Amino acid sequence: MSRAKREALEWVQAILITLVIFLVYNFFFATTTVYNTSMFDTLVEKDMLFMVKLGKIQQGDIVSFKSELTLSKADYDSLNIIQKLMHKEGERKNLIKRVIAGPNDTIEIVNGVVKVNGVVLDEPYIYSPTNKTVPLETVPEGKYFVMGDNRSVSYDSRDLGFVSEEDIIGKVIFRFMPLNKIGTVN
């Protein structure tokens, strides 16, 4: 085989391997960046997170999902150049919240006390007290009730309602930036 053919074959092989890695990554994994303080102090602005797209979602998991909120011109203008390439004004905003209750669970919030299935939730991760009241209701099949850890500023299921399973992008498993905070996210 000539040298030119060998080099062409190596290029094709490299491109195919890159394509397979890209497809596998995009099917099973995703990344996101934190843009607000609703998950403080578990997550802070500019944290970069690695997510897995498959697997069972459980109470306590931190998830990213497409909300009904849209990216305003001001939101878009605040993005860096790379982020602007991946987003456009008017698209649905991705939010990051903690799963509090899942399908068929009951949820109730009264006087800052969160109860799931009638049991008071132990929430050592919350940063600010839980505000707003949620009357006793059952989470529908295929839906989740989510809240931020910084409850006084979080726009979550108390305002948005339940999150559909099909809107969930992935479950946060790892923080890779900033480097001094690299590791798993609880």
Residue pLDDT, tens place only, 40-52: 999 998 888 989 9
> What pairing do the DSSP bridges indicate for beta strands 113-116 and 29-33?
unpaired
pLDDT of residue 25: 64
Query: Do 149 and 95 touch, CB atoms closer than 8 A?
Result: no
Q: Which two tokens stand for residue 130?
A: 């839980």
Q: Phi, psi (5° rounding) for residue 56?
A: -75, 135
The mean pLDDT value for 126-137 works out to 95
Nearest CA-CA partner of 185 in 78, 98, 121: 98
Computed on alpha carbons and rounded to an integer, the radius of gyration of the chain in Å comes to 20
Q: Is 75 exposed, middle or buried (0-12, 13-18, 19+ CB in 10 A)?
A: middle
Instruction: Read off the amino acid at residue 26.
Output: N
Judging by DSSP bridges, how do beta strands 62-70 and 92-101 pair with one another? antiparallel
Q: What are the residue numbers of the active site?
A: 38, 97
Residue 22 in tokens:
């890209």
User: Do 67 and 160 form a contact (C-beta atoms < 8 A)?
Assistant: yes
Q: For the chain, which domains are there?
A: 30-184 (2.10.109.10)
Token representation of residue 149: 């850890």
Note the pLDDT tens digit of each residue in 21-73. 776 666 777 888 888 899 999 999 888 898 998 789 999 999 999 998 888 88
User: Taking residues 7-17, what's their average pLDDT?
Assistant: 87
54 class by beta-carbon count within 10 Å (0-12 exposed, 13-18 middle, 19+ buried): exposed
Most confidently modeled range among 31-40, 79-88, 113-122: 113-122
135-177 residue pLDDT tens: 999 999 999 999 999 999 999 999 999 999 999 999 999 998 8
Looking at residue 115, what is its pLDDT? 98
